[in-house]
Amino acid sequence: MIFIGIALLLAAGLALLVNADAGSLIGLSQDQTGHILPLVCILILVAGGAFARRRPAAELIGGILLWTGIFAVAVAGYTYRNEISEVAGRVYAEVRPGIAVIDSKSATATFQRGLGGHFQVNARINGASIPLIFDTGASAMVLTAADARTAGIETSHLQFTSPVSTANGTGRAAIVKLDRIEIGGIVRTSVRAYVTEDGALDTSLLGMTFLETLSRYAVTKDALELTD
């Protein structure tokens, strides 16, 4: 009987996948239903093995309820997988500031405000992972000397001739081109930036030479949104 049931379910799943006009079942499209049915078959096999020998009625009913619950959770998880992924991303972003929550539909990367009130943005510059602080007051990307070296820039060959104002006072910086920078899935190449002298800056800054290439950036409540 188990194998007959499995055969019927597989046939129904195949029909749903082939027939584009099959409609929906319990809120799922025919494509989603067709993909879920193999999972049902697996559950039937496992449950069938569990109930192959005789069991007391109460235990049998309890087992049926258990497998019904497992199937319901599996269906709900599959149906709301995008929402679950989004919620998980937001929770992770709260725990780890600087991690982007990416909305692929709108090409938007969202960052949560840190405990210090700043927006930290984790970037990959020339392949190296470097944290940046969002700063619209910075006319360009600004890297500390240490972060520049992490990104593969040989600072000993730079000419620090440009005066810059930083939180530590007035310092000097060198102009460079960043080969590649990626933030929240948004990629830019040949981005102009400054590299400050050692000790002139505590944290690298996400400035206007990157921000002005975006179609949109905005601060809403406690979130920073960058749109490609």
Instruction: Give pLDDT tens digits for 23-70.
Output: 444 455 555 555 555 555 555 555 555 555 555 666 667 766 776 777
Q: Give the single-character DSSP code of 113.
A: P
Residue 38's pLDDT is what? 59
Residue 177's pLDDT is what? 95
Look at residues 14, 30, 31 and name the one whose alpha carbon lies nearest to residue 22. Answer: 30
Residue 20's pLDDT is what? 43
Residue 163's pLDDT is what? 85
Alpha-carbon distances, residue 6 vs 34, 51, 106, 116 (angstroms): 13, 16, 41, 57
Rounded distance, CA 83 to CA 125, Å? 30
**Global pTM value:** 0.59
Confidence of residue 19 (pLDDT cuts 50, 70, 90): very low
Low-confidence winner among 2-11, 69-78, 156-165 (lowest mean pLDDT): 2-11
**For residue 57, what is the enclosing H or E element?**
helix 57-79
Q: What's the rounded mean pLDDT across residues 145-154?
A: 96
Three-state DSSP class for 142?
Answer: strand
β pairing state of 24-25 and 28-29:
antiparallel
